[in-house]
Amino acid sequence: MGADDVDEFSPRTPAGRHFDQARAEAAVRELLIAVGEDPDREGLQRTPTRVANAYREMFAGLYTDPSEVLATVFEENHDELVLVKDIPMYSTCEHHLVSFHGVAHVGYIPGESGQVTGLSKLARVVDLYAKRPQVQERLTSQIADAIVERLDPRGVIVVIEAEHLCMAMRGIRKPGATTTTSAVRGLFKTSAVSRGEALDLISRT
């Protein structure tokens, strides 16, 4: 398959872009040459294929529609906080293409219709946006906005705590430094009491 040929099963982004396996493999081979390696030595022969497969997986969220992930919604007449804590999260820094990883905490208060979603769906939304080239601030906001759009809740709070390998293994080299970001919507923005209660539950071990 040539670099521009894409089979009909290649995953596509909503904008119609696709994962191009042949091109990804060629790029990895080029990178190995650029760093002074021999891509034909035995240990590296399958590396372009492996790395392309890994990137396909790491960026799988580019090809998934968030509304599909939050499709399961049901009425429970629950009008208080639902909080899923410590969701493991692996994303990729869009500046250096290395990992940033940690945990996400996602909470919401259902809207007047009392509609809730499956708990696993909150973790799926985290995954979907994490599996893209990202910055932590945008990842946090996108998760919150997707939940607002689908569930029309009274409020949403998303907190992400992560270590960026681009700050640990290279550059400033500060392993262990963590970055915390939050996105609050609705009641969690307008009410300091609601926000404080949620943050208290999130920080409790």
Give the footprint of ligand GTP on this chain (CB under 6 A): 93, 95, 135-137, 164, 166-167, 171-172
Q: Which residue is nearest to ligand GTP (CB)?
A: 171
Q: Of 6, 89, 93, 158, which lies in the binding site for Zn ion, with binding defined by CB under 5 A?
A: 93
- Does 101 count as an annotated binding residue? no
Return the HEC string of 60-106. Answer: HHHHCCHHHHCCCEEECCCCCCEEEEEEEEEEEECCCCCEEEEEEEE
Max intra-chain CA distance, the chain: 63
Q: Residue 125: helix, strand or coil by DSSP?
A: helix
Q: For Zn ion, which stretch binds (CB under 5 A), given 56-64, 67-75, 90-98, 191-199?
A: 90-98
Helices H, strands E: what count in the chain? 8, 7
**Residues listed for the chain:** 205
**Binding partner at 202 among Zn ion, ligand GTP, none, C-beta below 5 to 8 Å by kind:** none
Residue 184 CA to residue 107 CA, distance in Å, equals: 10
Active-site residue, 136 included? yes
**Looking at residue 12, what DSSP letter applies?**
B
CB of 95 to ligand GTP, least distance (A): 4
Q: How far is the CB of 97 from ligand GTP (least distance, A)?
A: 11
C-beta of 163: minimal distance to ligand GTP in Å?
A: 11
Which active-site residues does the annotation give? Answer: 93-96, 136, 164, 166
Binding residues are: 93, 96, 166
Binding residues for Zn(2+) are: 93, 96, 166
